[in-house]
Amino acid sequence: MTRVQLFAFILQTQIGIAVLSVPYDLHKDAGADGWISVLVAGAIVQAILFAYVLLCKRFPKQNLFDFTPIIIGQWLGKVVNAAYTAHFLLTTSLIILLEMTFVEMWILPFTNPWLVLVANCIVCTYLAKEPIRVIARYNVLITFLIIVMLGIMMTSFRSMDYRYLLPIGQSGWSGVIAGAKSSFLSFLGFEVLLVLSGDVRSEGKSFMPPLLWANGLATFFFLLIVLVSYLNFSQEALDFIPQPVPYYLNGISLPFLERLDLLFLSIWLVKVTATQISYFYCAGKGLSQLFHLRDHAKAVYFIVPLVCALGFFWRSEARVKHLGKIVEYESYVILGLPIVLLLLAWLLGKRGQVTV
């Protein structure tokens, strides 16, 4: 995988399910200052990525599942690897549940959910079982869709009112930090770097720049989504709009296109599927490592139908919220563990062997 493909892989994984609801989530915690929280969260992710790169550079040609046992031992390393595999599975399970909810609400309200689920399962299995270079090429191919989504969001300026953002700083630093905490989870996806690092052909160059560019573009994307929502809806109105992005687009009608929201959501589905494929691939790599399988495809054939089927039977609002809380709390631990591993590797002098 090249550095350009790494850029596309991280970017496509980060921009996914949170696109529709991140303005509402930020509004609940930070009010009109939610856009500042996005910038803070993006800066924090940049710092975390820097630590991840330092860790991966100590173990060239190896990924998280390879170097964790080297740092903390075989037994504890398997426990950590199992935790990361569970994280990838839990996250993609939540994504599937939220996707089905949004599809039923905005796109296909009268379609049997099983049909949506089966189509999702087929696409994810078809791509997640492939080698990393195939998935990376797919992510590069659909990168242009981000530009299309941004263009759709900027089709109307008439209803925007900058006064909805004033006064800046009204929520205080406590509100901004609370918003950064909630928006931080919208940036999930950058942690797949730990699984991809061993497959990156950097040719002697650092793969830090493509990571920073990917996260920077993701930060800009979320910032624009939040600003457009805040400029079109007052804070009082946002209390009653859990998905402000499609609600805003639903009110725009072009001479040649009536339902702009459906076009946006159709593209959004492709992006969400790319995020799922990335997580399924990482979960498959983790399971193949834990059970000593020669190919991650065998694990993918098992976990994709299982996760999709379990997601269908877990379709209740209370259960989705419960799973969301589980993913939120375990993500903070999972995202912080590599920093602990980096410190241990440095203190213990652990390094990987460079293979030619």
pLDDT digits (tens, 9 = 90+) for 287-333: 999 988 888 999 999 998 888 877 777 777 788 888 888 998 999 99
Q: pLDDT in tens for each of the 356 residues of the chain?
A: 888 999 999 999 999 888 888 999 899 888 889 999 999 999 999 999 999 999 998 888 889 999 999 999 999 999 999 999 999 999 998 898 888 888 888 888 888 878 888 888 889 999 999 999 999 999 999 999 999 999 888 887 777 888 888 888 888 888 889 888 878 778 889 999 999 988 888 777 788 899 999 999 999 999 999 999 999 998 888 989 888 999 988 888 777 777 888 889 999 999 999 999 999 999 999 999 998 888 899 999 999 888 887 777 777 778 888 888 899 899 999 999 999 999 999 998 888 764 43
Q: Which residues on neighbouring strands pair with residue 257, listed in sequence order?
A: 254
Amino acid making up residue 173: W
Residue 38: how many other CB atoms lie within 10 Å: 30
Task: Evaluate whether 283 touches 92 at the Cβ level (below 8 Å).
Answer: yes
pTM metric for this prediction? 0.93
Task: Evaluate whether 45 touches 189 at the Cβ level (below 8 Å).
Answer: no
Could you read off the pLDDT of 196-223 as tens digits, one per residue?
988 888 777 788 899 999 999 999 999 9
Measure the CA–CA gap between 101 and 108, rounded to whole angstroms. Answer: 10
Measure the CA–CA gap between 175 and 196, rounded to whole angstroms. Answer: 35
CA 277 to chain centroid, in Å, comes to 11
Q: What pLDDT, on a 0 to 100 scale, did the predictor assign at position 353?
A: 61
Measure the CA–CA gap between 300 and 308, rounded to whole angstroms. Answer: 12
CA distances (Å), origin 299, targets 284, 295, 296, 323: 5, 8, 5, 23
Measure the CA–CA gap between 331 and 74, rounded to whole angstroms. Answer: 23
Number of alpha carbons in the 13 Å side-chain half-sphere of residue 264 = 27
Q: What pLDDT, on a 0 to 100 scale, did the predictor assign at position 355?
A: 44
Task: Evaluate whether 33 touches 170 at the Cβ level (below 8 Å).
Answer: yes
Number of alpha carbons in the 13 Å side-chain half-sphere of residue 33 = 19
Burial status of residue 142 (CB atoms within 10 A of its CB: 0-12, 13-18, 19 or more): middle
Measure the CA–CA gap between 288 and 296, rounded to whole angstroms. Answer: 5
Measure the CA–CA gap between 124 and 116, rounded to whole angstroms. Answer: 12
Measure the CA–CA gap between 300 and 288, rounded to whole angstroms. Answer: 9
Measure the CA–CA gap between 44 and 339, rounded to whole angstroms. Answer: 13
Q: What pLDDT, on a 0 to 100 scale, did the predictor assign at position 356?
A: 36
Measure the CA–CA gap between 282 and 84, rounded to whole angstroms. Answer: 9
Residue 109: how many other CB atoms lie within 10 Å: 8
Residues whose CB is less than 8 angstroms from the CB of residue 90 and which lie 6 or more positions away in sequence, other chains included: 323, 326, 327, 330
Q: Which pair of structure tokens corresponds to residue 85?
A: 């595999």
